[in-house]
Amino acid sequence: MATDQAGDPATSTPTGEIGDVVALVVDDEALIRADIARALTLAGVVVAVAAGGREALRLVVEDRLRPAVVVTAIEMPG
């Protein structure tokens, strides 16, 4: 899992090996994103995170992320 200077997971494409399980975590609350990403990482999952739907779409469309699972909040602003 990539992290920024503050320790919050950064919005970036994960750098896993071919065949790794990739999860995309989408939530507007940084602490929830970080907790879910941490738990998945400890379970051996490669994690990408996004703070909202637009960022998640960018990861999938522009960065060609192909997650096996998407974990998202039911409601987010915007």
Does the pLDDT value for residue 18 go beyond 90?
no
Two tokens, residue 23: 């999860």
**Which pLDDT value is given to residue 10?**
46
Residue type, 57: L
Domain 22-72 has CATH 3.40.50.2300: yes
Domain ranges of the chain: 22-72
Strand partners, 69: 23
Two tokens, residue 30: 């940084």
Q: Give this prediction's pTM.
A: 0.76
Mean of pLDDT over the chain: 83
CB 22 within 8 A of CB 48: yes
